[in-house]
Amino acid sequence: MGGMSFRIFIDGEAGTTGLKVATRLQTHPHVEMLHIDDAHRKDPDARLQLMRESAITILCLPDEAARDAVALADGDASIRFIDASTAHRVDQNWVYGFPELTTAQRGMIATAPRISNPGCYPTGFLALVRPLIESGILPADCRLNVPAVSGYSGGGKSMIGAHDAGGLAPQFSYGVNLAHKHLAEMTHYAGLQTPPIFMPSVGDFYAGMLVHLPLHADQFSTAVNADQLYQLYADWYAGAALVRMGAACANDENTPNMLAADALADTDSMEIFVFSDAQARRFWLVARLDNLGKGASGAAVQNMNIALGIDEAISLA
């Protein structure tokens, strides 16, 4: 790779995700970051100029602002985008930026002019569900429940500010209208016919995430045990740079007594856990990740690396 360098523009660098992307890119050996003057941060012409000068523009903006940023490019495919917002995640003209989703996904990301970064919860959910659906072990018409907890940084600057001002409960659930904005991508990319009952919550810790998938044996299309499920995931993610297996399975001496939600804070990896009761009648699958890492900025940098044709784990922890 030598001294090869790519110019990257983060549109929305001042936001929580933008700052975390910028931190990673500061140590990236093949990236030169382009910055916009504060005075021109909302100047369309100045932003478009930086987009044209960049190999990739990473959008770290609210949904509507992200749509407006893409509109500036006016369909110019030479301006490549990675969008960290929700705006384009189920848009058929955008490639979903979860390289581990299928065997084809990484190759699609590599050549795409438009890449949508996954949501944090969907990253954990899809890591658990897609292999089960694709292998036929779990039917597409299954009805799933998904309890999950994230650090308060997932709510961005406003929620971080509310926490620091003492305005947040120690833990709270939200999205209780059953219409969370992540549901569309969770349902679509899992291959499910019915959206899951998604039960997100926020805990009194800065970063980290647990996404749970409880299943009964009769929800599977065939008899399985924890060892078989563990092996399915181990094979699916074999060679994945950022996904690894956690504790083995039921009654294993390595099974943790407590599963800390923040154990992967400040990293860009994800862990998959498989637990069951001794009779293999009830299963508890868990994905653990940092909502700001593999759940946001880490994934954006991973996708950027793949799109630039370089080692996907560069500048990732």
Report d(CA 55, CA 8) in Å as an integer: 6
DSSP 281: S
CA 308, 309, 312: angle at the middle one, nearest 5? 90
The per-residue pLDDT for 253 is 64
Q: Please, what is the average pLDDT of the chain?
A: 94
Report d(CA 214, CA 5) in Å as an integer: 45
Q: What is the DSSP string of 220-235?
A: SSS---HHHHHHHHHH
Ranges of the chain whose pLDDT falls below 50: 250
Q: Which domains does the chain show, CATH number per domain?
A: 6-118+295-308 (3.40.50.720), 120-292 (3.30.360.10)
Rg of the chain taking only CA atoms, in angstroms: 20
pLDDT over 90 percentage in the chain: 91
% helix, strand, coil for the chain, step of 5: 35, 20, 45
Tally Cβ neighbours within 10 Å of residue 178: 11
Q: H-helix or E-strand containing 312?
A: none
Q: Which residue from 165, 113, 124, 154 is spatially nearest to 17, judged by alpha carbons? A: 154
Place of tokens 């093949």: 30
Report d(CA 269, CA 292) in Å as an integer: 11
Point out the residues that are catalytic.
120
The per-residue pLDDT for 248 is 60
Burial of 263 (0-12, 13-18, 19+ CB in 10 A): middle
Q: Which residue from 190, 236, 225, 232 is spatially nearest to 211, judged by alpha carbons? A: 190
Q: Which residue from 83, 97, 69 is spatially nearest to 21, judged by alpha carbons? A: 83
Report d(CA 29, CA 201) in Å as an integer: 37
Beta-bridge partners for 202: 150, 172
